[in-house]
Amino acid sequence: MPINHHRPVSLSLMSTDLPIDSTLETSGTLYQKDRSRFDLLLNQPDSPQSVDQGEGSSAVETARHMLWLEISPARVIMSLQGNGKFCYRHFWEPGIYGLSRYWLNDNRGEIANAFRLRNYTRRLQLEGETLPEYLRIEYELWSGKVQLGNYILNLEIYH
C-alpha cells in the first residue's frame, strides 16, 4: 500500500525569454510508490469558465482539475485533467525530446481538438533525502523546427 503525505506545495513556471511567470501555491498529497518514485496530486483552486449554453447566452461553471505529477530522478510526467475544457500532459527526461500534448474537450468531455509539441529537457534536478523536497526542470519547447521558448519549472514540497 502506498504511503501518502499531505504537504503545502509551490509550483512555478517561468520563461527565460518570454514574459511568462506563473506560480501556484496549494496543498498536495505525495504518494510514495517505491524508494525513488512518487506521485504528487495537487489541489488546484477552482476556476470559473464560461460555458456556451446556445442562442448567445452563457453561464459560468466551476472547472475542477486534477494536476498530477509522476516524479522520479530519471523522468517527470505532469498531467492536467478534469471536467474543464483544457487538458495537457508533459513528459520530461534529461537529454531527450519529450512530448507536450494539449487537448480541448467538447461539452460531452470528449477530445475535440489536440496538438503536440516537443520539449527538450536540458536539466532535471530532484532533491530530498527520503521524500522529494525540490524539483527543477529546465527545458525548451519546440513546434517542428521552431523554438517556442526556454522554460523553468520549479516545484517545492514543504515539510
pLDDT band at 146, cuts 50/70/90? very high
The answer to whether residue 53 sits within a structural domain is no
**What pLDDT digit, counting tens, does each position of 86-122 carry?**
889 999 999 999 999 998 887 777 777 889 999 999 9
The answer to whether residue 109 sits within a structural domain is yes
- Whether the CB-CB separation of 121 and 94 falls below 8 Å is answered with yes
The answer to whether residue 135 sits within a structural domain is yes
**What pLDDT digit, counting tens, does each position of 96-106 carry?**
999 999 988 87
The answer to whether residue 152 sits within a structural domain is yes
The answer to whether residue 56 sits within a structural domain is no
The CATH number of whichever domain residue 138 belongs to comes to 2.40.128.20
Give the model's pLDDT for residue 46.
56
The answer to whether residue 54 sits within a structural domain is no
Among 2-6, 27-31, 78-82, name the most confident range: 27-31
The string of DSSP letters for 88-125 reads EEEEE-TTSEEEEEEEEE-TTSSEEEEEEEEEEEEEEE
Give the model's pLDDT for residue 105.
80
The answer to whether residue 100 sits within a structural domain is yes
Boundaries of domain holding 138: 3-48+61-157
Is 70 exceeded by the pLDDT of residue 68?
yes
Nearest Cα to Cα of residue 98 among 135, 66, 153, 142 = 142
Q: How many domains does the chain have?
A: 1
* Alpha-carbon span 44 to 26, nearest angstrom: 7
